[in-house]
Structure 1
């Protein structure tokens, strides 16, 4: 499939530009720091060190992975156009949708490799140190998998931004705005609304719906609440009731946050004049 060929080219470019290496080292360094320091309380309170690290890494991932994803993808289309290679690429027998899908797949693969290797290093250190309960490995694997899904949603949003503008600088500014909105501003604004409302208008169903409008919140809810071995250390049962937001629903919403921006990016690129 031609989209896979473009994805493979994106991976080669990422390897040549040391994106994979740099991202992997960054994630491994942060994950190892949390694994070695964040699990320190486990000896005193008999907490599972891997479950503690899941809570810490999930909180860090919300800030780090979306930023890396947007840095990877913000110039996917507009950068090619500025370099003069987009017309050459489209001169080949390849559809526009295949270009967008291929670039997103390649960038998600780069992010996925870095995430699995980086976070896997922390899990390996904890396994060698011992004291990890068997029931903590599944939440950790789920955290790594959903971290890749969270990154994929922001890669798709970055690619969408790249199809909507004509200059890399504009795309970079738009990507920063997307990161600020979903990672910082959305929850701050939502908290302000809840404090002002005092439960008079925004009930639990409305709150659950509002949380689903932010992929970072969906990711947080999934990793903090679905596993009992992790939720006991997260200090929260989730802003919404876990029973009302089961894991399959949260995963489906997170997948929709990948598919919807990708579909919009394809549609926007189909209509883009070169």
Structure 2
């Protein structure tokens, strides 16, 4: 509901300010469902961590820490590796696929690869162009399943 409300308000504001904005409606729908998948991924991960933690405070700390790793530190580590590699084998062979290993990056790459917005996000343009959109789509479809399965298995282990 929150995602629909947020994107709905954005759509209304865009259409009110520019009548031609309705041309972007299919892209907004794609962004909506891929956002739901990304949210489902993080919810599954959060449920799994919550089931493993003994105290609510520990669960919250672990989830925040994991979010920090996946959203900030993972990309910083990849950036450091690219700089150290200086255009070598890591940058050309492994980097694009490591981006798909992070649900947030797969979400970004998919939405950039299937839209005309790659010029607006020059930092990910090369990655979005080097990874087929279908691979990023597979990644964002698989992540919620994996996260939910791990959460389900963790709950089964914790509860008798």
Equivalence for 2:49: 161
Query: 1:78-129: per-residue Cα shift (whole Å, max 9, x none)?
Result: xxxxxxxxxxxxxxxxxxxxxxxxxxxxxxxxxxx10011111111121122
Return the offset for 1:241.
5.0
Equivalence for 1:272: 158
Q: Number of paired residues?
A: 160
Larger Rg: 1
From 98, 105, 108, the counterpart of 1:217 = 105
Q: Which structure 2 residue ranges, 5 or more long, are not aligned?
A: none
Return the offset for 1:142.
1.1
The alpha-carbon distance between structure 1 residues 208 and 183, as it changes in their structure 2 partners (threshold 3 A), is same
The alpha-carbon distance between structure 1 residues 169 and 184, as it changes in their structure 2 partners (threshold 3 A), is same
Q: Which structure 1 residue ranges, 5 or more long, are not aligned?
A: 1-112
Given that residues 110 and 128 in structure 2 are in contact (C-alpha distance below 8 angstroms), is that contact kept between their aligned partners in structure 1? no
- Between the aligned partners of 2:29 and 2:159, the Cα distance in structure 1 is 43
The alpha-carbon distance between structure 1 residues 233 and 132, as it changes in their structure 2 partners (threshold 3 A), is farther
Equivalence for 1:245: 131
From 146, 149, 167, the counterpart of 2:34 = 146
Query: 1:204-229: per-residue Cα shift (whole Å, max 9, x none)?
Result: 2311111011111111111222212x
User: TM-score, structure 2 length as denominator?
Assistant: 0.89
Given that residues 41 and 143 in structure 2 are in contact (C-alpha distance below 8 angstroms), is that contact kept between their aligned partners in structure 1? yes
- Between the aligned partners of 1:143 and 1:273, the Cα distance in structure 2 is 36
- Between the aligned partners of 1:172 and 1:269, the Cα distance in structure 2 is 17
Given that residues 49 and 59 in structure 2 are in contact (C-alpha distance below 8 angstroms), is that contact kept between their aligned partners in structure 1? yes
Structure with higher helix content: 2
Given that residues 160 and 265 in structure 1 are in contact (C-alpha distance below 8 angstroms), is that contact kept between their aligned partners in structure 2? yes
The alpha-carbon distance between structure 1 residues 178 and 231, as it changes in their structure 2 partners (threshold 3 A), is same
RMSD: 1.9
Query: 1:12-39: per-residue Cα shift (whole Å, max 9, x none)?
Result: xxxxxxxxxxxxxxxxxxxxxxxxxxxx
Select the structure with the greater relative contact order (CA < 8 A; seq sep ≥ 6).
2
